[in-house]
Structure 1
Amino acid sequence: METKIKTGPVRPEMQLKAAARKRRRYKSVFTYAAFVGPAMLFFLVIQIVPFLMGLYYSFTSWNGVSSAVQWVGFENYTKIFTNDTAFYESFKFTTKFMLAAVVISNLLGFCFALLLNAALKTRNILRTVFFIPNVIGGLLLGFIWQFIFVKGFASVGNLTGIEFFKMPWLGDETTAFWGIVIVFAWQISGYMMVIYVAALQGVDTSLLEAAKIDGASGWAMLTKIIIPLILPAFTICFFLTISMAFKIFDLNISLTGGGPFNSTQSVAINIYQEAFQNNRYGLGTAKSILFFLVVAIFTTAQVMITKKKEVEA
């Protein structure tokens, strides 16, 4: 036997409340779309679409100019893995440069942060001085340091007779490598310093005062209290320096141009020459896809390792 449930008429105030909730929902969706929509659109057009197009072109033999695009499958990737020694050498240099640059940049940035976190009267001026190199563009910075290495160091060496300044800084494979590392660290350490300073200022001073009362040394407080508490800052700084060092291009091309004899050629320069100078756009994009995967693996592994350390700390 069926029972019928009688429902009374919907009251006008309930209809008004439902309509108001619907208007608020539409308003929140519209507000979200107005603020996030343009950013999402630009990200899609500038990042996602070119990446997908590059992925497609990496399977072609397109020269970057012609309208004819021939599909070659994995032929470009086969060439890279079989007989492209220049790419391997550039990748070897870039990896070695990344390791040296990450260590030196973060060490300098952290030391600057410790110095400026102290009660110094000139710390605001020093912060500006240390951060200014990061404001200068890579190309301009490279040409400035090229003049310093070639002309400035030679003049100082002739006046003082010190062999350090007489070395062919950009004319030898070893010294050119360290020259690029020095300039990169000089440019980026100020940016790392800002992140470390922000982290140090968030450390609870009562912990440091209690450790000092208990007789802890400065080194013990640094290694046992300060560094474990600011490990998230190390995670951020390592991620930034690894990605920046891997993608170095403008500083490298303005300082050495990849020389002498391609001994300081980064992967970015190798990809640029392959695509835009040798007109092998398909092969160049295949190299860029592999490069993207390697950088993603390195940075992801670094973040996972340092995040694990944060949890343990």
Structure 2
Amino acid sequence: MEKAIRRYWPVFVLPTLIAFIIGFVWPFIWGAGLSFCKFTTVKNVQFVGLSNYAMIWSDNTFTHAFWFTAAFTVVSTLLINVLAFAIALLLTRGMHGTNAFRTIFFLPNLIGGIVLGYIWQILLNGLLSSWGKSLLALNATYGFWGLIILMCWQQIGYMMIIYIAGLQNVPVDLVEAARIDGATSSQILFKIKIPMVMPSVTICTFLTLTNSFKLFDQNLSLTAGEPAKQSMMLAYNIYDTFYARSGPQWKGIGQAKAVVFFLFVVVISLLQLHFTRSKEVQA
């Protein structure tokens, strides 16, 4: 079997590798190159150097979207992981009907982001209308918390499944030994369970962090950046720059924003992975 694998591995690897290069690597390289150009189409390109990158920071909508996205990411990442872990703890205590609860909590993750955005827009506007308010009121606060509620409702069930898998791998004899030694429930939680499920924390934090930064379709359907682009997140801001603004220079600026956005997400994700992995208990 090992000889066959060594002989025929290119047959299995090459098709996927070629598809990856065509579908991701080459478009990414080409897009990064276009970020230094002014263009209307990929065949009508004029090199302008770093001017596109310089104009990013003079665009107030981009800087506002950056801080809006950063605040949204911090709040949503904390809420999703804390609530998902709390629910996972409850559903690993041998309660009746835990399988049904797991299915119910997981179901929102199966609904597309565009659909979720429109559903929650109707629900939140119906709730706020009784107070004379609207999701797209004179400030972006309602849109911010609407996006937080939507993201939590969609993601908590998925992260809960990962945390349940981690909690079920905590050795039972270790917990029982701690109880015999007189450890309280809080001590077992913070000294045994949480350190033992740090690999799950790493995975869930990575997923929620990147998903929050890259959020686009829910932002588009729930608030569409209103009012006055105050609830616009980074991914939607890039889309708006590239498609909604006239002039060849804006497409190049949109490409430059996309490159900066990519680099920022990569750096933040690597820092998060390094920090959480350093806390993992080595078996």
Q: Which runs of 5+ in 1 are unaligned?
A: 1-23, 158-162
Letter in 2 for 1:262: K
Counterpart in the other structure of 1:148: 123
CA distance in 2, matches of 1:180, 1:146: 10
CA distance in 1, matches of 2:208, 2:22: 26
Match of 2:172 among 205, 216, 219: 205
Counterpart in the other structure of 1:117: 92
Counterpart in the other structure of 2:49: 73
Counterpart in the other structure of 1:310: 280
Over residues 243-296 of structure 1, what are the superposed CA-to-partner deviations in whole Å (9 max), with x where a residue is unaligned? 000000000110000111211100111100111222522111100000011101
Contact 1:231 1:306 in 2 (8 A): yes
User: Which stretch of structure 1 is more off in the superposition, 38-47 or 195-204?
Assistant: 38-47
Q: Is the alpha carbon distance of 1:293 and 1:55 closer, same or farther for their aligned partners in structure 2, counting shifts above 3 Å?
A: same
Counterpart in the other structure of 1:192: 159
Over residues 94-144 of structure 1, what are the superposed CA-to-partner deviations in whole Å (9 max), with x where a residue is unaligned? 001000010001111111111111101210000010000100000000000
CA distance in 1, matches of 2:73, 2:265: 11
Tell me, yes or no, if structure 1 residue 58 matches structure 2 residue 35.
Answer: yes
Counterpart in the other structure of 1:11: none
Contact 1:113 1:197 in 2 (8 A): yes
Matched residue of 1:259: which SS? coil
Larger Rg: 1
CA distance in 1, matches of 2:5, 2:192: 44
Q: What is the aligned-residue RMSD (CA, Å)?
A: 1.9
Contact 2:35 2:52 in 1 (8 A): yes
The number of residues matched between the two structures is 279
Letter in 2 for 1:38: P
CA distance in 1, matches of 2:281, 2:273: 12
Matched residue of 2:47: which SS? coil
Q: How far off is 1:154 after superposition?
A: 4.5
CA distance in 1, matches of 2:222, 2:65: 16
User: Which stretch of structure 1 is more off in the superposition, 27-36 or 263-272?
Assistant: 27-36
